[in-house]
Chains A and B, each alone.
Chain A
């Protein structure tokens, strides 16, 4: 397992320059547009998408077929990708908080505290959105291959965002009060989102293990 995660981290390090350039551009964009919230969500999105990139690399070199000739079973192979997803998403989250802090403290200087609750809620919602998107996409990626599932991943992310947007609209049309969500204590809100992420990952992992059991590599 450790070897597989190391392989992915070294691979990502190999693409580090490209990721850094894209991220630096986004940071500049956020600074000029004075929207630190944008870069926080972008960092989380980037972190959660890295697992998709590693699966594309694996597919292009038939690495999965190769590694399954080693003392690695399909369950470990699958597990390594979910752990990588947690590592890279967490890294994205930490990077987003760090950049938020740097941008707000040094350039915009509009707040004297770290991050307002509404922005924190937005970041946490983004983490959940991308984790759920990954959780839906990963079994397809194991089943069909990463390249075939790449557009599916983008589609799933957009679909989830549209569903949330649609639900909000429906609540508004039905005369509901969306601001009621803001009344939910931050701790409860956070626990609910974390719970959604955990359940999505566990269900997804079980499905991925099942689809790889009889796969031809």
Chain B
């Protein structure tokens, strides 16, 4: 039976001096956009390198599009359907854009020259220019055009929008939305720009210091999580099972709760109202807040 997951990872473990990718397990269902969020050095790029078979790992199993990934393996035809974009353009600077089309035509059996040229026209990337003459945004668009021009079913993007201005980032996110219109297409998208993840992801995976903190549906996450702003004493009345993290300063205590709706239902709401002398102030939590609170809690 064919797997319904584009990516399956079980117990992925990798050790470096001072860093430990700790038994990561997750699945990325086909037809979804999954945002992989974490601070710099959290383990996002290491995880992606492992998914791509670019490094040996101590432990764990990885399947990409039903193919068991083994570092250094010789059978790599499944990669025809995997488009990858890193945080920088990896083409030699002296290459002309038109050369890249010819090169890719000789690397991918599934290369679609017309698709590539179409993207370049849309992105206004000139064919006759050398890579070194392109702006950073243009270079990223070139990499994305390449990733989308060989019948990819899975896009793996490692900080692909980092360092780009909001307008270019938006254009690129639009392209990803178009790509995902085909329900067999999947995007695994790492970034520390959480606003990009909020805009396009269906699911969010948070990683911190090599540990996967949570994997949740983005809309549910944003709907349920909230930040209660109160005093230290009031914070003690919030049930522990709802508290994800706390931040205290001399003026107030803020508490990240995993289900703000529960705090607004009886019997909790009456109890809190009597303690707070009014209705507690509960703000929406965004992904960045959740990452910050969770990260602090796990320190």
Contact = CB atoms under 8 A, between A and B. Distances in A.
A3 B104 contact: yes
Interface in B20-56: 49, 52-56
B82 A69 contact: yes
B11 interface: no
Interface stretch (B73-81, B119-127, B222-230, B264-272): B73-81
Given A70-B79, A71-B79, A63 B86 contact: no
B52 A14 contact: no
Given A2-B106, A216-B49, A15 B76 contact: no
Contacts of B75: 73
Contacts of B77: 71
Interface in B49-95: 49, 52-56, 71-80, 82, 84, 86, 88-95
Given A6-B102, A70-B107, 12 more contacts: A3-B105, A7-B99, A57-B94, A63-B91, A65-B54, A68-B54, A71-B79, A71-B80, A71-B107, A73-B74, A75-B74, A216-B56
B96 A61 contact: no
B15 interface: no
Given A69-B84, A214-B72, A10 B103 contact: yes
7 contacts: A7-B95, A15-B94, A57-B94, A61-B88, A61-B91, A66-B84, A214-B71
A68 B93 contact: no
B109 interface: yes
A172 interface: no
Contacts of B94: 10-11, 13-15, 57
Interface of B: 49, 52-56, 71-80, 82, 84, 86, 88-96, 99, 102-109, 130, 156
B136 to A, nearest CB: 14
B107 A72 contact: yes
B110 to A, nearest CB: 9
A65 B158 CA distance: 13
B90 A212 contact: no
Interface string A9-37: 01101110000000000000000000000
Nearest to A214: B56
B92 A6 contact: no
B155 to A, nearest CB: 11
Contact of B88 (A13, A62, A75, A213): A62
Contacts of A4: 107
A3 B71 CA distance: 22
A14 B92 CA distance: 10
A6 to B, nearest CB: 5
Contacts of B52: 68-69
A4 B107 CA distance: 8
Contacts of B102: 6, 10
Contacts, number: 103
A57 to B, nearest CB: 5
A212 B72 contact: yes
Q: What range describes how many residues of A lie at the interface?
A: 20 to 34
Contacts of A10: 94-96, 99, 102-103
Contacts of B130: 14
A71 B55 contact: no
Nearest to B104: A3
Nearest to A1: B106
Interface in A169-193: none
Nearest to A16: B94
Interface in A186-217: 212-217
A63 B143 CA distance: 12
A197 to B, nearest CB: 27
B78 to A, nearest CB: 8
B187 to A, nearest CB: 15
B55 A217 contact: yes
Contact of A3 (B82, B96, B106): B106
Nearest to B94: A14
Contact of A74 (B72, B91, B103): B72
Closest 9 CB pairs of A and B: A14-B94, A3-B106, A66-B90, A3-B107, A216-B55, A69-B84, A213-B72, A10-B99, A217-B54
A73 B123 CA distance: 31
Contacts of A216: 49, 54-56
A58 interface: yes
Nearest to B71: A214
Contact of A71 (B72, B91, B108): B108
Contacts of B55: 215-217
